[in-house]
Amino acid sequence: MKNANPLWKFFCSVKLTVVLLLSLAFTSIIGTVIPQNESPDAYLHAYGAFRYQLLSTLGILDMYHSWWFQGLLLLLTINIVVCSIERLSGSWKLIFTRDPKVRPERFANRSDARTLTDKRNAEELVKVYEPIVARRYGYCKVTRSSEGAVIYGEKGRLSRLGVYIVHLSVILLLIGGLAGSFFGFEGYVNIAEGEATDTIRIRNTGQIHRLDFQIRCDDFSLTLYETGAPKEYRSALTLLEGGQVVKQKDIIVNDPLRYRGINIFQSSYGKLPPEKMPRTETPALGPAEAYTLNFTSRASGMSYTLTAKVGVPVDIPEGLGKFVLMAFEPDAAFRGMDVGAALKGILTPAAGEPVEVLLPLKFANFDKMRGGDVIVSVANQAQEKFTPQQSTEERYYTGLQVTRDPGVWMVYTGFILMIAGCFVTFYLSHQQVCIVIEQLRKNSRVTFAGTTNRNKLAMKNTVEKIFTAMTES
């Protein structure tokens, strides 16, 4: 190492890399175990005041943005930069030379060098051997001297750049990420059908941000599968600047709208509150202490009628598990659809996870849809059939995610470079072979060896093949 500065040396070491990468791996675990960026109330409730204080001081509640986690990333960045400069300056000449310097003794002295003697003289042998090398190696050079000749071949020299491309890509990702968090934003806005707005709210801080154009939601539509699971959310959007339409597009999840560096994504939706939307009243039972429920076993077809008090578990016959009634809700929603008054409960089957069960009073067959081993329903209720596709006129609002990330092109460049760099590094190699021919008095002595910077096993085979070709010619 020409530069003796101890700090430089410290940052050159691969040992430091190993330590940093392992530290990053282990500390990253913390943030997956302790929920991040929750409200202080939630933390106080879960951990108590003292531990909340402690975790908050250590930055663990937003650990991926804490000074010490970012510090580890910074150390890694310096490590990569210093190490790459050091190594690249060492191998620059080797990689970019037009006329590589050949040191035959480096090959001839290798322990795996092969030798043979041949009656022909050096010049005749060069004529035979040169095509063998030239066929396999893009670069092939013959040097003649009074003692004999040297045939040198190499290929894949540029593949040595692969690692630097990988390391450069890591740096691009880090810078791109930083640029995004400093100069970008991530916000959201809810827009009712038919309305327009130019203000959004920034995600973590809750600040208001004004766009220089308006977003209008012309229509929102929701399609469901037969099972009631959502199939597609679609918002017809129009962008307006000074009253002029500048862009129109239907967006769905995975197909956002992009305009002047700002991206608009479909992220949620909802129904407008009742005062904005006239609704037919459904006659509903009020909340009560206890309800009469029917439990139907799918296996036996038997139906059992039991009385359930709110909060008290009941055992379902046939060993089908337990059911706890949780609450009465006057205005329940199922996957965003209004289902009217309903009971909520938790069913714990004999085997498997507890599931939340919704029992709309209007629809007796509702729980059949869930496909469980036991079907729960409320006894003595109106027997209306549940149809997932609702026909009544309803007004929705669309929930949009609005983001700007000026670092994203750098990150994507980093992605491409990283994949390309890894491929080059792992699957291409710099191979060199050298045949040294010494002209003796009556015959010639030939030494042959090859080296590579990776995949030595494959190189061994290549050397074997070339040597066989040499002996047979």
Partner 1 sequence: MPMSSSQLLSISTFVFALASFFYIAALIFKTPRLTLPARWAVVAAVAITTGGILLRWVESYQMGIGHAPLSNLYESLVFFAWTAGLIYLFVEFKYKNALIGAFVTPIAFLAMAYASMSPNISDHIQPLVPALKSNWLIAHVAACFFGYAAFAVAFGMSIMYLIKARHPDKDKGITGHIPKLDMLDELTHRMVLFGFLFLTVGIITGAVWANSAWGSYWSWDPKETWSLITWFVYATLLHARLMRGWEGKQIAYLSILGFSAVLFTYFGVNLLPGLHSYGKV
Q: Which two tokens stand for residue 237?
A: 């959007």
Q: Rule CB under 6 A: say whether 49 interacts with ligand HEM.
A: no
Among 163, 240, 310, 420, binds ligand HEM (CB under 6 A): 163
Q: Rule CB under 8 A: say whether 229 interacts with partner 1.
A: yes
Whole-number minimum distance, CB 183 to ligand HEM, in Å?
A: 24
Give, as one character, the DSSP assignment of residue 379.
Answer: T
Q: Which amino acid is at 323?
A: F
C-beta of residue 451 within 8 angstroms of C-beta of residue 121: no
Q: Rule CB under 6 A: say whether 166 interacts with ligand HEM.
A: yes
> By CB under 8 A, which span of 141-149, 246-254, 389-397, 430-438 interacts with partner 1?
246-254
Q: Rule CB under 8 A: say whether 409 interacts with partner 1.
A: no
Whole-number minimum distance, CB 435 to ligand HEM, in Å?
A: 27
Q: Rule CB under 8 A: say whether 399 interacts with partner 1.
A: no
Report residue 245: phi and psi, to 5°. Answer: -70, 125
Name the residue nearer to partner 1 (CB basis): 49 or 457: 457
Q: Which amino acid is at 300?
A: S
Residue 265 interacts with, from partner 1, ligand HEM, none (CB under 5-8 Å by kind): partner 1
Residue 80 interacts with, from partner 1, ligand HEM, none (CB under 5-8 Å by kind): ligand HEM
Whole-number minimum distance, CB 293 to partner 1, in Å?
A: 25
Q: Rule CB under 8 A: say whether 159 interacts with partner 1.
A: no
Q: Rule CB under 6 A: say whether 422 interacts with ligand HEM.
A: yes
Q: Which of residues 255-284 bind ligand HEM (CB under 6 A)?
A: none
Name the residue nearer to partner 1 (CB basis): 253 or 382: 253
What lies within 8 Å, CB to CB, of 63 at 6+ separation is: 27, 30, 31, 34, 36, 69
Give the neighbor-by-neighbor strand order of the sheet with 355-360.
Answer: 314-316, 321-334, 337-349, 355-360
Q: Rule CB under 8 A: say whether 205 interacts with partner 1.
A: no
Q: Which of 206, 235, 213, 224 is nearest to 399 (CA)?
A: 235
Instruction: Report how far residue 252's alpha carbon sits from residue 305's, in angstroms, rounded to the nearest whole number.
Output: 45
Q: Which of 193, 198, 332, 218 is nearest to 272 (CA)?
A: 193
Name the residue nearer to ligand HEM (CB basis): 187 or 414: 414
For the chain, first and last CA: distance in Å? Answer: 46
Q: Cα–Cα distances in Å, from 354 out to 194, 302, 346, 372, 403?
A: 41, 22, 7, 11, 37
Whole-number minimum distance, CB 226 to partner 1, in Å?
A: 9
Among 5, 9, 35, 58, binds partner 1 (CB under 8 A): 35
Among 83, 122, 411, 446, binds ligand HEM (CB under 6 A): 83
Instruction: Report how far residue 357's alpha carbon sits from residue 343's, in angstroms, rounded to the nearest whole number.
Output: 8
Instruction: Report how far residue 257's alpha carbon sits from residue 261's, in angstroms, rounded to the nearest whole number.
Output: 10
Q: Which of residues 7-26 bind partner 1 (CB under 8 A)?
A: 14-15, 17-18, 21-22, 24-25
Instruction: Report how far residue 257's alpha carbon sits from residue 122's, in angstroms, rounded to the nearest whole number.
Output: 71
Among 267, 439, 451, 453, binds partner 1 (CB under 8 A): 267
Q: Rule CB under 6 A: say whether 425 interacts with ligand HEM.
A: yes
Instruction: Report how far residue 157's alpha carbon sits from residue 430's, in angstroms, rounded to the nearest whole number.
Output: 5
> By CB under 6 A, which span of 80-88, 229-237, 300-308, 386-394 interacts with ligand HEM?
80-88
Q: Which of residues 425-454 bind partner 1 (CB under 8 A)?
A: 426
Q: How many CB atoms lie within 10 A of CB 215?
A: 26
Q: Cα–Cα distances in Å, from 65 out to 36, 60, 62, 72, 430?
A: 10, 9, 6, 11, 41
Q: Which two tokens stand for residue 313?
A: 């578990």
Residue 83 interacts with, from partner 1, ligand HEM, none (CB under 5-8 Å by kind): ligand HEM
Residue 147 interacts with, from ligand HEM, partner 1, none (CB under 5-8 Å by kind): none
Among 4, 49, 299, 457, binds partner 1 (CB under 8 A): 457
93-102: long-range pairs with CB below 8 Å, 24+: 94/157, 94/160, 95/157, 95/158, 95/160, 95/161, 99/141, 100/139, 100/141, 100/152, 100/154, 100/157, 102/141, 102/143, 102/150, 102/152, 102/434
Whole-number minimum distance, CB 186 to partner 1, in Å?
A: 6
C-beta of residue 378 within 8 angstroms of C-beta of residue 245: no
Residue 151 interacts with, from partner 1, ligand HEM, none (CB under 5-8 Å by kind): none
Residue 167 interacts with, from ligand HEM, partner 1, none (CB under 5-8 Å by kind): ligand HEM
Where does 97-161 have alpha helices with state H? 104-108, 122-136
Q: Which of 72, 73, 69, 79 is nearest to 31 (CA)?
A: 69
Q: Rule CB under 8 A: say whether 256 interacts with partner 1.
A: yes
Q: List residues binding ligand HEM (CB under 6 A).
A: 14, 17, 76, 79-80, 83, 87, 163, 166-167, 170, 422, 425
- Chain positions contacting partner 1, by CB under 8 A: 14-15, 17-18, 21-22, 24-25, 28-29, 31-33, 35-36, 64, 177, 186, 225, 227, 229-233, 252-256, 263, 265-267, 351-353, 401-403, 405, 408, 411-412, 415, 418-419, 422-423, 426, 456-457
